[in-house]
Each structure stands twice: as C-alpha cells, then as structure tokens.
C-alpha cells in the first residue's frame, strides 16, 4: 500500500514537472528555468545549448543516482556536446512526451 502511494506521488511529480515545462517558450531560458545545466568548458563566451529531454528513470540508459543524472545515453550525449562545444541542458519529462516536445521545438532531442 505504501509502495502504491509512493508510485502515485511519483506520477504526480512527473505531471507537475511536465506542466512546469509546458510554460517554456522559445525565449532564452533564465538560469532558474533550467532543470539541469552543465558547464562544458570555460571559454568566457556564451555556449550554444543543446536541449535534451529524458525521463531519467530507465536504468541503465538514463537514471538518477544520488541526485545525479547518469546512464549510457546521458554520458553519450554529454560527451558529444563536450566535443562539439555545446552546453547540455536536460529536461526531465515522461518518455511519452519526448517526441511531441521535439516536434514542438521545446527540446532538440531525447535520451
């Protein structure tokens, strides 16, 4: 029963995050709107940003460990963005929302 309740709360949490994200536009994001951003270097100039949607709950592709987003997909895209000089910005969203969010230009890709 406790487990079930936790699961429901978890689903609610996902929904809340989803609603929060839906308010974002194509305007440049303020720092506090970024779910997770990563510095990929220290060149002093504004980095281009790659927006990546991920559920963060599909071990071992994308998951959270001690509050850190990890996984094979996550580390692949982190390394790609590092190599091409982009900043990786992760948005946590349900898997089902990924394609729609790419289509409507809220994110660039999914992991």
Residue 42, SS3 per DSSP = coil
Within 10 Å of residue 55's Cβ, how many Cβ atoms?
18
Residue 92, SS3 per DSSP = strand
> Of residues 2, 4, 30, 83, which one binds another protein by CB under 8 A?
83
Give me the least distance between CB of 19 and another protein, in Å please.
23
Residue 75, SS3 per DSSP = helix
Binders of another protein among residues 50 to 69 (CB under 8 A) are 59-60
Binders of another protein among residues 87 to 106 (CB under 8 A) are 98-99, 102-103, 105
Q: Which residues bind another protein (CB under 8 A)?
A: 59-60, 71-72, 75-77, 79-80, 83-84, 98-99, 102-103, 105, 108-111
């Amino acid at each position: 029963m406790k487990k079930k309740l936790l699961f429901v709360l978890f689903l609610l949490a996902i929904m809340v995050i989803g609603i929060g994200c839906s308010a974002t536009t194509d305007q440049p994001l303020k720092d506090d709107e970024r779910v997770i951003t990563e510095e990929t270097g220290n060149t002093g100039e504004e980095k281009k940003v790659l927006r990546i949607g991920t559920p963060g709950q599909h071990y071992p592709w994308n998951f959270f460990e001690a509050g850190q987003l990890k996984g094979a997909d996550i580390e692949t895209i982190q390394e790609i963005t590092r190599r091409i000089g982009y900043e990786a910005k992760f948005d946590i969203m349900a898997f089902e929302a990924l394609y729609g969010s790419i289509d409507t230009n809220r994110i660039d890709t999914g992991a």
